[in-house]
Structure 1
Amino acid sequence: MKQAAGKTSLRRLCPNIENDESLETILEIPIPEEMFANMGSNVALRWQNMLTWMKGKTPDKLASPVFNARLNELRFLLYLAGSPLIPLQIQLGHSIHFPVRDSSIGASTAKYILQQYIAAIGGQPALNAVQSMCVTGQVKISASAFHQTTENVEVKKGTEEIGGFVLWQKDPDLWSLEILLAGCKVCSGSNGLISWRHSSNQQTPISRGPPRPLRRFLQGLDPRATANLFLSAACIGEKIIKGDDCFILKLETSPAIREAQSGPDFEIIHHTLWGYFSQRSGLLIQFEDSRLLRMRNKDDDDVFWETSLESVMDDYKYVDGVNVAHSGRTRIKVFRYGEQSANHKREMEERWKIEEVDFNVWGLNMESFLPPSDVLN
């Protein structure tokens, strides 16, 4: 795999402590050095604690109220900050077409901006050569507690959680993600027909829905998906981001898409996306989306969840001719309110770093993206 500049800081192997002559164990998800360092005061103790931790997810331990509350908190952070989905399907196919006939000025301007973006990212031939992708990286997530909406919210910088992830993709609707944070692992994926997401530590059913892309793809990892997503957008103006003049592309999800992505217990009221493309480099340097969700309760006591995410991408580097963002930061704001519910707000922040990127991975097929058996039952 192609490594980012500098020495990698992810551990991938665990020695066999019970039998020194045995081969080392390959970790399912590489873990950051900082996460390993927090497992003990010396190397031997850290490996022993890791072995205990990997074997320690017993049903009795998972049933502990304290342990279960901790897992629920980590799962909430991973779902909302580490592995959020975009409730839109992205056009399949390799070539990106920019028809401008019968388009408004804002729509035709957006298509021109996307042409510059494709050129800045490496050009159409480089993107057409990409058939699949594998990415490993690390994340750091911090969060505030829930507060009343009248209070100031501050993210707790000193309590950030550290983790790593592995991401596989064959096209926008074939992908698989495993992300590990402080001992809690979330697996999500899409096989082209359905998408799913669940925690390996939870006893509740797996959530599932129609095919949806992972938001992480649109944070500088998949330029073709980004360009296809904004093909229906309109340019609504300009804004200075980190001293860089940027064009703003805005995309509103249609009522039909919102209805298709809603479920029996929830309704997507609105979902809007913005892309900020540098006028100087042509690259996407900020990505935002905002969603309002209504959760239906049996007693007609609906609860509304409003979530806004703002991602800033940095450190673009070429990998096999494709310009990929290797680091960034996402800030998340969550508001919860309702007639019979206390109004709360919370803020989170995720910082990520891409350690390795590899395109055109041999051996990936439909079986590589099979959902868990519980999804098929």
Structure 2
Amino acid sequence: MWQMLPDIWQIELVLAGHKVVAGSDGTVAWRHTPWLPAHAARGGGLDPLAVSGVFSAAQYVGEKQMAGTDCFALKLSADQKNLTDRSDSTAEMIKHVLFGYFSQKTGLLLYLEDSYLTRVQSPGTHPTYWEITMSTNIQDYRTVEGVMIAHAGQSTVLIARFGDCLRSGPAITRLQESWTIDDVAFNVPGLSMDCFIPPKELKTDFPKEDLQYWISSSPPFDNP
């Protein structure tokens, strides 16, 4: 991940041999995945390093042990305005809830659960509902220039698809990945605005054929 200013960043990930790239040039946030072409991301983008401040408005919901560590839990729910801003004519964001579990001893984030429900409906078709839950176990915190940064973890994604248009009933896909961060550095020399230019083929809207492909096909990962 490279970052120049709070709203100018780019991150690259390799998942199960497939490359996922996302970024923001300060005006347009975008992402490129193996199953969809480069496209603008609604909502203007989020500085990945600002995630630590996301829970400043969260609600305390109790305590829980995570992997043998005593944690306190915080819950953050998107309000209606936020959900509306992230919806369009074919996709309606119904809910988005985030749970963070922080070590009572160190205050570090150890477990993150992110879930959202989206209603997708093209003109003349029945609606399809997508419920996606991403759970991440965060490990191996190390100090980098005075900043504690996690260097490893495991993530699990559950993708549930249901609706009247699915004759065979709900479809569930489960993805699992272990990830590591090899190196972290600040004040990297040589970074310029040219490093954060969106792809030329950037699409600002999802083409119908691409949306239907995503609805009717599984992502290019193997189900465990």
| TM-score of the two chains, using structure 2 as the length reference | 0.82
2: CA distance, partners of 1:182 / 1:285: 23
2:166 aligned with 1:363? no
1: CA distance, partners of 2:124 / 2:130: 18
More strand by share: 2
The count of residues paired between Structure 1 and Structure 2 equals: 201
Report 1 or 2 for greater relative contact order, CA contacts < 8 Å, sequence distance ≥ 6: 1
Structure 1 SS opposite 2:189: coil
2:115 aligned with 1:295? no
State the shift of 1:174 in Å.
1.4
Query: Residues 252 and 357 of structure 1: is their aligned pair in 2 closer, same or farther, counting only changes over 3 Å?
Result: same
Q: Which amino acid aligns with 1:196?
A: W
Structure 1 SS opposite 2:123: coil
| Residue aligning to 1:243 | 68
2: CA distance, partners of 1:311 / 1:236: 19
Structure 2 SS opposite 1:228: helix
1: CA distance, partners of 2:16 / 2:72: 38
Structure 1 SS opposite 2:54: helix
List alignment gaps of at least 5 residues for structure 2.
Answer: 205-224
| Residue aligning to 1:343 | 170
2: CA distance, partners of 1:321 / 1:247: 24
More helix by share: 1
Structure with the greater alpha carbon radius of gyration:
1
| Residue aligning to 2:202 | 375
User: Over residues 263-299 of structure 1, what are the superposed CA-to-partner deviations in whole Å (9 max), with x where a residue is unaligned?
Assistant: 2221110000111111111111111111001111222
1:212 to 40, 45, 52: 45
User: Over residues 167-198 of structure 1, what are the superposed CA-to-partner deviations in whole Å (9 max), with x where a residue is unaligned?
Assistant: 21234421112334566433321112111122
Structure 2 SS opposite 1:227: helix
2: CA distance, partners of 1:351 / 1:172: 27
List alignment gaps of at least 5 residues for structure 1.
Answer: 1-166
Q: Which amino acid aligns with 1:191?
A: D
| Residue aligning to 2:58 | 233
State the shift of 1:344 in Å.
0.8
2:6 aligned with 1:179? no
Structure 2 SS opposite 1:190: strand
Q: Between the two proteins, what is the percent identity of the paired residues?
A: 37
CA contact (8 A) 1:173 1:211 kept: no
2: CA distance, partners of 1:331 / 1:322: 26
